[in-house]
Amino acid sequence: MAVIDFHSHILPGIDDGSKNTEMSMEMLRMASEQGVDVMLATSHFYASRHRIEDFLARRQRAYERLAAVKKDFGPELRLGAEVAFFSGMSRADRLDDLTIEGSRALLLEMPFGPWNRSDIREVETLIRKREFQVILAHLERYMGMSENKKWIEELLEMPLYVQINAESLLGWRRRRPLIKLFEKGQAHFLGSDCHRVERREPNLGKGRAVLEKKLGKAFINAMDDRGSRLLRIGGETDV
Ligand SMILES: [Fe+2]
């Protein structure tokens, strides 16, 4: 059972996250001090800007640059992507290459504008036909948009996972509805969504501390266990 940061921009020089290997190393040090065992390296993927093969090659080079300095230090890295939603994605053959390494989990970033029925059907197809284990990235960032309320409710009925940013649990006013989501089993995992060092920094430990205070140690253990199974970490099998 591992402490997993489900969302990060730790790889250097590939997106708007870490600028270079030094910054990535500092971020890894911070995560390590917070007890993170595994960090998912979920660099942004936009189908409108990237060809999958180019993205994969750039991601591999960024990973190798970091791995050469990191060696065995700090959290283990698992390659993945934060895949921005696009129409037609459920028919994109190579989507399989964007899952979190060693699993069927796909971290999906929904659009920041109003959604529509066909968007929701597309997510459903990813789950039911393509058999991805969809993880919705930082769902709380969409919860303030009244147009999307009904669509969020539909998504939450589906067999998918919801990732919340640790940062969102730090303000007492924002945290209340999110704690409820975790409590009801409608939110599942935490991510730091870390981009750099001074702000949007690795802060998984702070988010976990809030969850533990509100929902107890057994809840945190169950979350870690479920995450480890989903990602097949430590020889554990699928959820
Ligand atoms: Fe992100």
Q: What is the 16 CA–ligand 1 centroid distance (Å)?
A: 9
Mean pLDDT of the chain: 96
Provide the percentage of residues in the chain whose pLDDT is more than 90. 94
Classified as helix, coil or strand, 135 is strand
Q: What is the 197 CA–ligand 1 centroid distance (Å)?
A: 15
Cβ of 146: how many Cβ atoms within 10 Å? 8
Query: Is the pTM of the predicted complex or chain greater than 0.95?
Result: yes
* Domains identified in the chain and CATH numbers: 4-231 (3.20.20.140)
Distance, in Å, from the CA atom of 17 to the CA atom of 10, rounded to the nearest integer, reads 6
pLDDT band for position 1 (cuts 50, 70, 90): confident
Q: Is 106 exposed, middle or buried (CB count within 10 Å of its CB: 0-12, 13-18, 19+)?
A: buried
Residues with CB under 5 A from ligand 1 (ion): 82, 193
The pLDDT score that the predictor gives to residue 21 is 98
Classified as helix, coil or strand, 88 is coil
pLDDT single digits (tens) 57-116: 999 999 999 999 999 999 999 999 999 999 999 999 999 999 999 999 999 999 999 999
CA–CA–CA angle 14, 15, 16 (5° rounding): 140
Residue type at 49 in one-letter notation: R
pLDDT at 236 over 60: no
Provide the sign of the torsion angle of the four alpha carbons 79, 8, 176, 206, taken in this order.
positive
The pLDDT score that the predictor gives to residue 239 is 55
Q: What is the 200 CA–ligand 1 centroid distance (Å)?
A: 10
Q: What is the 5 CA–ligand 1 centroid distance (Å)?
A: 12
The pLDDT score that the predictor gives to residue 145 is 92
Phi-psi region of 171 (alpha: psi -120 to 50; beta: other; left: phi over 0): beta
Give the H/E segment covering residue 106.
strand 105-109
pLDDT single digits (tens) 142-188: 999 999 999 999 999 999 999 999 999 998 888 999 999 999 999 99
Q: What is the 212 CA–ligand 1 centroid distance (Å)?
A: 24
Q: What is the 15 CA–ligand 1 centroid distance (Å)?
A: 10
Residues whose CB falls within 8 Å of the CB of residue 23, separated by 6 or more in sequence, listed in order: 12, 196, 197
The pLDDT score that the predictor gives to residue 235 is 66
Q: What is the 105 CA–ligand 1 centroid distance (Å)?
A: 16
